[in-house]
Amino acid sequence: MPLTSSFNSPSKEKRSSLESASSRMIHSPKEKIAKGILKNQDDNVTERIELEKNGLHYTKSYICKSTDLKSDQCEETDTSNCNSNGLAPTTMTSNPKFAETVDLAKQEELIVSKKSEAVLNSVKSDKIGFEGIQKKFYKETCEGSVLNYSASEVTGQNKPNVVMRESVTEDNTNNISNIESLDVEKQRSGQEKSSDKNKCDVQTVILFAENKTKLNVEQQKEVTKCNMQQSLNKVSEKFKNENIEQDMFVDTCDLPPSMPGRGKKRGRSSGSGSTDVTPDAKKRVLIQDEDNSKNIRVTHHTHPDFTVPGIPLTLGEGDVGQLGLGEDVMERMRPALVKLDDKIVQVFAGGMHTVCLTNKGEIITFGCNDESALGRDTSEEGSEMYPAKLNLPYKVIQVSGGDSHTAVLTEDGHVYAWGNFRDANGSMGLTSGGIRKEPLEMCPGETVVKIVSGGDHLVCLTNKGEIFTGGCAEQGQLGRVAECFAGRGSRRGVDSILKMGPVRCRIHSSRKHATFSDIWAGQYVTFAKEKESGDIYSWGLNNYFQIGFDDMQNRFIPEWVPSFAAHNKQWTKIQAGQHHTMLLDEEGKVYTIGRAEYGRLGLGEKSGEMSEPTLVTKLSDKCIDIAAGQSVSLALTSDGTVYGWGMGTSRQLGTGNEEDVWEPVKMSGKQLETRTVVGISAGGQHTVLLAIDK
């Protein structure tokens, strides 16, 4: 229904509400034209005040297109001064400068529109969501009783549209009419109202996204700019035809109710092959990715070959059951067969326990369990001395272990661990909660491709090339904790070091962050291979040059190792004991560095400590694997032969005696006569081999 003359200048409160709403949401499609006459109108306001001071009456002219029109069809909405024939009254001021006169409320509204751009910039800087603007617009316009909405047809699939309809000022030589009105009405896609033929076709449509969709301010401005241009084009055509009519329509105003359903989202259309998707589509992609994550199968070149299963052989000290040979066997000088019904693809020797991985992804453990390193109940006396299988709900593809903990990597990239970490003060717990008897996920939210363990720390490599560490940090082996915070008594607390955290460093001679392709760990040290260059970075204990630096200073953050790079080789595997390190290059040659005591470097009795990698010349055959215990070293050649050197007290070398070995010696035994070794692992006091029949 058309407005009457009662729609005059709004109250201060209403104008404030209208300013707030229009400044945030509505830009006139004839804003350029309005700005062109703004100065003129401001002068009119000033002179109107002067006229009123002098007792003169300031009136408004009404220009009707035809004498056949009724008073409610005049171009201005205020028809209180119209004659019965629709023509303008003759009580206009005689001053020709005021041939064009405008109602004060309309002038104030034009001034408000001038401020809208500044307010919009404020909205942008404050990052006000478009959804919040919509709600506030509804609220303010309803409270101001200026603009009304009808929510009768607002559903989850029909979006409310705000339409602004305005007349345009045309400058004629005889008379000038400055008319402006606002329209708010619901738009239905694909529908037109035939009864609105005499209504102005100048429209600017601002589409409100649904409550779940938030458009940024830049997108709002682009939409408004586009619609303004379209509206101006239509205005030009209307002026040419000189057939402009103005009406204002008001719907009932109700705050839109919260919609129970999520209606159909409208995507961003593009004819240029845009790949943008709607929020619903994005959500479906996320759900699909989440579902696909269950089907992820992580791979790494260090994973065991499940197509080549073998049998475990053990030797060395077995006083706590780490040999898996029963309560009566306390030691073995030669490799002994561990009787298992399952086929084994990987063996690992921890400090005083052993872990075997079957070709079905199951875990078998035996040995010391005083801190729950076995992950199973051994309350029955002597049960830890015999191999037993763990009941895990997932398939495991890699295992590692330390002095008192065990870790497993599942096929979908999750890491679980149980047991305990220790430091110089004793037990730390696997977490701040203490020792864990049941498996605990260590890197939630990360897809891990490889795990390795030091004596009391765990290292994980993700599919993004990132490294996460947790455990004891006293010697710097975590690579992410400063020396002042490395102890459990630091102000950051024990949880900061036990909880897995990322290791950050930059590529040598670059500001770029490093990513890694491989990791290795020793008793108190960690090594990583940088993905792009293949350079080695190390951190941890360096009291015998074991991490490659000649200053004997520990490293608490990753550092590029110049002594390793000097050889200009690609290192394929690194293993570390308590105070020495072994390196295997791409040609199958073995190098050692660190402490020389007990012959662990394999360089002869006259050799001393080495501050850089030194070739073990007595190993002439090509080697495919290496392993380091506390004070022993092992190497596996391509023909399946095992060589060992170092401390003989623990009987780990398979020589049949307890003498120290200063140079590589071939391991022998009855169990090796008909078998070929395919895997080796050296623990604190025992050795585990994986062999297959010849």
DSSP of 587-598, one letter per residue?
Answer: TS-EEEEE--GG
Helix (H, G, I), strand (E, B) or coil at 397: strand
Calculate mean pLDDT across residues 474-498.
91
pLDDT in the model for residue 47: 54
Calculate mean pLDDT across residues 564-590.
96
Closest CA to 280 of 265, 291, 260: 265
Alpha helices (H) in 85-216, listed in sequence order = 104-125, 130-144
**With 60 as the cut, is the pLDDT of residue 598 above it?**
yes
**With 80 as the cut, is the pLDDT of residue 245 above it?**
no
Domain ranges within the chain, ordered by starting residue: 12-188+199-258, 311-596+668-693
296: pLDDT confidence band, cut at 50, 70 and 90? confident
Is residue 406 within 8 A of residue 416, CB to CB? The reply is: no
Name the token pair of 543: 């009291």
pLDDT in the model for residue 488: 85
**With 70 as the cut, is the pLDDT of residue 492 above it?**
yes
Instruction: Write out pLDDT tens, residues 403-441.
Output: 999 999 999 999 999 999 999 999 999 998 999 999 999
**With 90 as the cut, is the pLDDT of residue 163 above it?**
no
Give the dihedral of Cα atoms 527, 531, 534, 536; nearest 10 deg: -20
Cβ density class 528-552: b for 16+ within 10 Å, e for less: bbbeeeebbbbbbbbebbbbbbeee
Alpha-carbon distance 252 to 410, whole Å? 62
Closest CA to 559 of 500, 496, 480: 480
Calculate mean pLDDT across residues 239-263.
40
Alpha-carbon distance 551 to 591, whole Å? 20
For residue 314, give the H/E element and its range.
strand 311-317
pLDDT in the model for residue 489: 78
pLDDT in the model for residue 84: 38
**2.130.10.30, 3.40.50.11440, 2.60.40.730, 3.30.565.10: which CATH number matches 311-596+668-693?**
2.130.10.30
Name the region of 55 (left: φ>0; alpha: ψ -120 to 50; beta: rest): left
346: pLDDT confidence band, cut at 50, 70 and 90? very high
For residue 122, give the H/E element and its range.
helix 104-125
pLDDT in the model for residue 79: 40
Instruction: Write out pLDDT tens, residues 188-232.
Output: 444 444 444 444 343 433 444 444 444 455 566 666 666 666 666
**How far is CA 369 from each of CA 321, 404, 424, 674, rounded to the nearest angstrom?**
9, 8, 20, 33
Give the dihedral of Cα atoms 566, 567, 572, 577; nearest 10 deg: -80
Total Cβ atoms within 10 A of residue 273: 5
User: Of 295-304, 486-495, 598-607, which has the strongest mean pLDDT?
Assistant: 598-607
Is residue 447 within 8 A of residue 475, CB to CB? The reply is: no
**How far is CA 564 from each of CA 14, 366, 480, 561, 614, rounded to the nearest angstrom?**
77, 37, 22, 6, 10
109: pLDDT confidence band, cut at 50, 70 and 90? low
Looking only at the bridges linking them, the beta strands covering 353-358 and 344-349 are antiparallel
pLDDT in the model for residue 40: 52
Name the token pair of 524: 């108190």
**With 90 as the cut, is the pLDDT of residue 317 above it?**
yes
Is residue 275 within 8 A of residue 297, CB to CB? The reply is: no
Is residue 355 within 8 A of residue 398, CB to CB? The reply is: no
Instruction: Write out pLDDT tens, residues 617-640.
Output: 999 999 999 999 999 999 999 999
Is residue 640 within 8 A of residue 633, CB to CB? The reply is: no
Total Cβ atoms within 10 A of residue 637: 18
6: pLDDT confidence band, cut at 50, 70 and 90? very low
70: pLDDT confidence band, cut at 50, 70 and 90? very low
Name the token pair of 667: 């391991």
Name the token pair of 131: 């959804």
Cα 127 versus chain centre, distance: 22
**With 50 as the cut, is the pLDDT of residue 270 above it?**
no
User: Who's near 668: CB < 8 A, 6+ residues apart?
Assistant: 334, 654, 656
- Proportion of the chain in helix, strand, coil states, percent, rounded to 5: 20, 25, 55
pLDDT in the model for residue 271: 38
- % of the chain surpassing 90 pLDDT: 55
Alpha-carbon distance 205 to 184, whole Å? 10
pLDDT in the model for residue 446: 96
Backbone angles phi, psi at 684, to 5 degrees: -65, -40
315: pLDDT confidence band, cut at 50, 70 and 90? very high
Is residue 131 within 8 A of residue 89, CB to CB? The reply is: no
50: pLDDT confidence band, cut at 50, 70 and 90? low
pTM of the model: 0.61
Instruction: Write out pLDDT tens, residues 496-527.
Output: 999 999 999 999 999 999 999 999 999 999 99
pLDDT in the model for residue 674: 93
**With 80 as the cut, is the pLDDT of residue 186 above it?**
no
Calculate mean pLDDT across residues 453-472.
97
Average confidence score pLDDT of the chain: 74
User: Who's near 540: CB < 8 A, 6+ residues apart?
Assistant: 454, 475, 476, 477, 479, 522, 524, 525, 526, 547, 554, 555
User: Who's near 173: CB < 8 A, 6+ residues apart?
Assistant: none
Closest CA to 87 of 103, 100, 106, 68: 68
- % of the chain surpassing 70 pLDDT: 57
